[in-house]
Amino acid sequence: VDVDGDGFGDRAATAPLDAGTDCNDADSAEFPGAVTEATGGECMLDADGDGYGDKGATGLY
């Protein structure tokens, strides 16, 4: 399911749907690879599990 229509599905989706890779499916400007916005709404991995994205984290979202 892609609620915001940005081409990336909601990663919280469950069966029978496959989870997508969108970090915020309510905002079409936030998706993996999106340009960083001044609002801080980037799609970043949380490498240390503290609930906040890490700009230096690498790997699959």
Express each pLDDT in 5-27 by its tens digit: 777 777 666 655 556 666 777 77
- Rounded to whole angstroms, the Cα distance separating 42 from 34 reads 7
Q: Which two tokens stand for residue 26?
A: 């309510």
In this prediction, residue 48 carries a pLDDT of: 78
In this prediction, residue 42 carries a pLDDT of: 61
Of the candidate ranges 12-21, 26-35, 51-60, the one whose mean pLDDT is the lowest: 12-21
- Rounded to whole angstroms, the Cα distance separating 45 from 49 reads 9
- SS3 assignment, position 10: strand
- SS3 assignment, position 22: strand
Residue 61 has pLDDT above 70, yes or no: no
How much is the pTM?
0.34
In this prediction, residue 18 carries a pLDDT of: 56
2 close to 13: Cβ distance less than 8 angstroms: no
